[in-house]
Amino acid sequence: MINISKVPDWLDRFVHWGSDKLNPLLVRSIRQNLRNRTFLAVFFLLLGIGGLTCVMVASSGNVTRANSQAGLNLFIYLSWLWGAGIIIVQSLSAYRAVIIERQDDTWDLVELTTLEPRHIIRGLLLTALVQGIMFTSALAPFMVMAYMLRGLNIWIILLTFLLIPAVSLSACAISILCACLTNKKGTRAFLGLVSLVATVWIYFPTMAFISTSYSINRFIEEFLHWDQEIIGGLAVAFNIWIVGNLMMLIFSASLLKHKAANRSTGPRGIWMFAYLNLIIATLIFGPMFYHGDYHYELLLIPAVIGVFATALLGLFGLSEHYRLTPRQDRDIKHPKRWIRSFMFMVGPGAARGRIAYIFMSFITFMLAFIAYMTFDTGYSYTSRTVDRLFTFVWTSLCFTSITLLISDYLYRNQLRKFFDTPALRRAFALTFFAVINIIPFIIIVVLDNNGISTGFFEIITPLYGIFKMMDRPDDFFGYQLALAILGLASFIILFYQAVMNYHYQQLRTVAGDGDRNPRAG
Amino acid sequence: MSFVEVNHLSRSFGDIHAVRDISFSFNKGDIFGFIGPNGAGKSTTMRILATLDLPSAGDCVVDGLSTVDDADKVRHKIGYMPDSYGAYPNMTVTEYLDFFARAYQLHGAARRRAVLDTIDFCQLEGIKEKLITTLSKGMKQRLCLGRCLIHDPQMLILDEPSAGLDPRARIEFRDLLKILAEQGKSIFISSHILSELEELCNGVAIIEQGQLVTTGDVKDMKAKIREQATIKSSEESKDIVIEIHLSDVHPDAERILAEQPQISNVDVRERFISLQCPSDNQSQAALLKRLIDAGLPICHFAGRDQNLEDVFLHMTEGKVQ
């Protein structure tokens, strides 16, 4: 018989050591949750409904039949219940936890403790996970009972136990990101709704997949036969899951950072890392799905995605201030060892933002160029697709660069008075992009109705022009040449600006006039 | 260089200028009071000093570190108590302090000791296992002071800590602050209870409509006001209030005083007398001589001392934004 009152010394020391290392928010939230009526209500609800489901299945009468599916059925019912607990309830509770944490009177106190936002986000996420484990423990006895009945194999259990927690973690990450986006009451309610819809939207397909015995059995069967596509698909899904969650959590933490702190390195770094990951994943897993003789054209996948990723990075990177705050300056001068070599790109400020943008554009272009140059033109249809996609990539990169450069010039000079913050600059750049697409389009419609040639306006309109050049590249050789020259020139100007502003001046961060007054209630 | 320096600090919220170009400083071990009517900009200044808000212009420096540029380092040096308690539900007193000790990255024995010391110092022993939500206001206030002290900061920023406390809780709280100041901690405190600040503070700053009205040593300020009041009264030929203390109760005191010329508003309460007489020194000297000659055992005769309330009322105009 074990004397539980006498804990071995090593165990005691280990528990103390472990407790010491735990995230403070995790410790606090778990202590609070254990006294929280809502948490206890959900826990006992799961326990009650789980018990009731067991009784109903057990009393259905077909439990003892040789071909009984009672075990599987019970497990699926319990999985729906479990999923509701750890996907919907848990992610909503993560959303609520961030909102409560950010309430003025307590958020100030947490901010003052020098707990970094990443610790706060990690603590909140861990809390959600531990809460999920507690919900699981409410249903665990019934799940064991389901296994003892017939019709359930271990693979279904394993798959469910991997899939639901994985989906639950992503749902929590989405909720935390939504909650970090704003601290304004109205927007907060809207984002809460968005978070709920996203969570429910994730919940139903996940549970439907698990509940459909045909799909789950087929999946397991193919997996056990090491089907290349299934293995590759799983690897890709796992990769997307890791990078996607990491991105959401890093974005969330950056949103909580102090205004004068370095809020660029994390998001820009993870964005570029995700792109690199996409390229590597395409090269590794692409051949598993693609049965052609040549694989280089697969590079067009990251290249096409890279066009959008680069545009977004440019939108954020270019719009930052050139001058840095002393805190950002310190981050550049004394970075962490592992990121030191990349600070010329991922460091804060518009100069480094420009370098990152140019670098990513170059990589994107090179991917498309390698695919274009190495592809065997013998297959006419595929060859045409490769040509079109290559044209799409380089023309898009040029249009984006020109658009960003012009909007950057405007908001830093003529319109400086109105767009003096990065957020306003981004809004302006997006508006500018919309305008240069819409106005020529209206002119095209008017000219077309009057029988006048619209070719010039078609080609200078980014979205319209790109697709025209993709369809009929030979008809627009002159335009393509002009666009290439202008695009290259815009990249050179951006690089020149980056070099000229690389050795920043220090900027004292001051409050904006529009900043919320916490005293105003 | 002073331990805390507020240099030309301004903070605007749109058209509202909450704080306008204010500067003051105080040293280590000082208890510095911050006085002003509601909406004067006290809390805004305190939040900037606590690194929770950014200034529109100017800066605050704590121990040579800017609260904007070196906020992370400053945060280790300060403890901030806002005017709201900032307490979490479903937590006991010990758990609350333990959370903040962990958040300030105190580990192992150091954390446990910090929690126990804080409980001991703030006299929370009897309620350490109680839920925070069940505590009285005075106890919550002590707990919040404990939270501020858990990482042993060099400076405390206390935004109206005595608001809503009963007299006993207020006195106990004041005693704790005195001990902390004796330990060398700087305390920056705002309060509406001016008599309390007068007793506690070495220096004060008075703010109105976001602008600094005056700053300095409380005693100097009171002397200055007294002097100004005397000069003003003399110039305007006004009476001033004289306080007289007798060594013993005199049965004819009221009669003797009633016979004196040029005095008014006589109030006799056993050994203590207050009255109004002309502000010039000759009249006061003549009055004193007459009263002694009449047999009153006078051991104290002086113009009434100005208290911080007088200073505040004298300096401010009661305007709010």
What's the maximum distance between 2 C-alpha atoms anywhere in chain A?
97
**CA distance to A109, A110, B80, per residue, from A105 (Å):** 7, 9, 12
pLDDT band at residue A382 using 50, 70 and 90 as cut-offs = low
- Residues in B closer than 8 angstroms to A515, CB to CB, are 13, 54
Residues B51-105: tens digit of each pLDDT: 888 888 888 999 999 888 888 889 999 999 988 777 788 899 999 999 999 999 8
CB contact (8 A) between residue B91 and residue A28: yes
Query: A204 and A352 share a domain?
Result: no
Which helix or strand (DSSP H or E) is residue A78 part of? helix A70-83
Q: Do A106 and B86 touch (CB under 8 A)?
A: yes
Rounded Cα–Cα distance for residues A225 and B2 (Å):
76
Q: Is the pLDDT of residue A127 over 50?
A: yes
Listed residues A181, A206, A224: the one ending a domain: A224
Residue labelled with tokens 């001051």: A510
Task: Specify if A288 maps to a domain.
Answer: yes
CB B202 within 8 A of CB B217: yes
| CB-CB under 8 Å, A28 with B56 | no
Q: Do A260 and B99 touch (CB under 8 A)?
A: no
**Claim to verify: residue A319 and residue A464 sit in the same structural domain:** yes
Closest CA to A75 of A154, A146, A141: A146
* C-alpha–C-alpha distance, residues A34 and B107, integer Å: 24
Confidence label for A521 from pLDDT (cuts 50, 70 and 90): very low
Of A202, A194, A240, A164, the closest CA to residue A95 belongs to A194
Contacts of A252-257 spanning 24+ positions with Cβ under 8 A: A252/A117, A252/A121, A252/A173, A252/A176, A252/A177, A252/A179, A252/A180, A253/A116, A253/A117, A253/A118, A253/A120, A253/A121, A253/A180, A254/A117, A255/A117, A255/A180, A255/A181, A256/A117, A256/A120, A256/A121, A256/A180, A257/A117
- Contact check, Cβ <8 Å, A112/B78: yes
Quick one: pLDDT at residue A70? 77
A112: nearest CB among B11, B50, B56: B50
Contact between B111 and A20 using a beta-carbon 8 Å cutoff: yes
Mean pLDDT computed over A317-342: 85
pLDDT, one tens digit per residue, over A48-73 is 999 998 888 877 766 666 666 778 88
pLDDT of residue A293: 61
What's the one-letter identity of residue A448? D
Q: Tell me which chain B residues have a C-beta less than 8 angstroms from the C-beta of A513.
A: 12-14, 56
- Span A427-451, pLDDT tens digits: 999 999 988 888 888 888 888 777 7
Q: Are residues A287 and A191 in the same domain?
A: no
Q: Which of A110, A242, A111, A253 is nearest to A181 (CA)?
A: A253
B28 with B184: CB under 8 angstroms? yes
Kindly state whether residues A218 and A274 are assigned to the same domain.
Answer: no
What pLDDT, on a 0 to 100 scale, did the predictor assign at position A197?
93
The predicted model gives A286-314 an average pLDDT of 83
Instruction: Indicate if A199 and A317 belong to the same structural domain.
Output: no
Q: Which of A179-183, A184-188, A202-206, B229-233 has the lowest mean pLDDT?
A: B229-233
pLDDT at B166 over 80: no
The residues, any chain, with a CB within 8 Å of residue A464's CB and separated by 6 or more, are A437, A440, A441, A444, A458
Tell me how many residue pairs between chain A and chain B have CB atoms under 8 A apart: 113
Of A28, A114, A514, the CB nearest to B88: A28
Mode of pairing for the β-strands spanning B186-190 and B31-35: parallel
- Name every chain B residue with its beta carbon within 8 A of the beta carbon of A22: 102
Would you call B12 and A513 a contact, using CB atoms and an 8 Å cutoff?
A: yes
B208 and B316 in contact (C-beta within 8 Å)? yes
Q: Residue A474 falls within a domain, yes or no?
A: yes
B100 and A113 within 8 Å at the Cβ level: the answer is yes
In a domain, A370, yes or no: yes
Structural domain includes residue A9: no
Please list, in sequence order, all residues whose beta carbon lies within 8 angstroms of the beta carbon of residue B196, skipping any fewer than 6 positions away. Answer: B162, B170, B174
Overall average pLDDT of the A447-458 stretch: 75
How many residues would you count in chain A?
Answer: 521
- Nearest Cα residue in chain B from A22: B102
CA distances from B272 to A255, A435, A455, B261, B312 (A): 65, 84, 102, 20, 26
Shared domain for A111 and A158, answered yes or no, is yes
pLDDT tens profile A236-293: 889 999 999 999 999 999 988 877 788 899 999 999 999 999 999 888 888 777 766 6
Same domain, A42 and A144: yes
Q: Are A187 and A269 members of one domain? A: no
Residue B106 in contact with residue B151, Cβ under 8 Å? yes
Pair A286, A434 in one domain = yes
Interface mutation vs chain B, best among A112, A256, A331, A510, most B CBs within 10 Å: A112
Q: Cβ(A113)–Cβ(B114) under 8 Å? A: no
Percent of chain B scored above 90 by pLDDT?
Answer: 25
Contact, B260 vs B290, CB < 8 A? yes
The residues facing B269 across adjacent strands are B272
ipTM: 0.79
How close, in Å, is residue B41 to chain A by CA atoms? 10
- Cβ atoms of A440 and A461 within 8 Å: the answer is yes
Distance from CA of B197 to the nearest CA of A (A): 23
Interface of A with B (CB under 8 A): 16, 20, 22, 24-25, 27-28, 31-33, 35-36, 104-106, 108-115, 258-260, 325-327, 508-511, 513-520
Residue A395 predicted with pLDDT over 60: yes
pLDDT at A294: 59
Count of residues for chain B? 321
Looking at the fold, whether A184 and A329 belong to one and the same domain comes out as no
Both A105 and A189 in a single domain? Answer: yes
Shortest distance, CA A16 to any CA of chain B (angstroms) = 8
Helix, strand or coil, per DSSP, at residue B236: coil
The full set of domains in chain B, from first to last, is 4-208 (3.40.50.300), 221-308 (3.30.70.100)
Hey, are the CB atoms on B75 and A114 less than 8 Å from each other?
A: yes
Among the listed residues B254, B290, B289, the one whose alpha carbon sits nearest the alpha carbon of residue B269: B254
Residues A296 and A412 in one domain: yes
Cα gap A218→B198, rounded to integer Å: 81
Unique residue bearing structure tokens 């498309």: A368
Please choose, from the candidates B216, B210, B215, the residue with its C-alpha nearest in 3D space to the C-alpha of residue B21: B210
Q: Which chain A residues have a beta carbon less than 8 Å from that of B141?
A: none
Domain that holds residue A443: 258-507
In a domain, A441, yes or no: yes
| Cα–Cα distance measured from residue A162 to residue B251, given in angstroms and rounded to the nearest whole number | 96
At residue A305 the predicted structure's pLDDT band, cuts being 50, 70 and 90, is very high
Residue A70 lies in a domain: yes
Examine the pLDDT at A4 and tell me if it is beyond 70: no
B-chain residue closest to A32, CA distance:
B90
Q: How many domains does chain A have?
A: 2
Q: Is A309 part of a structural domain of the chain?
A: yes
In whole angstroms, what is the distance from residue A323 CA to residue A352 CA?
11
CB contact under 8 A, A108 and B86: yes
Domain assignment of residue A2, yes or no = no
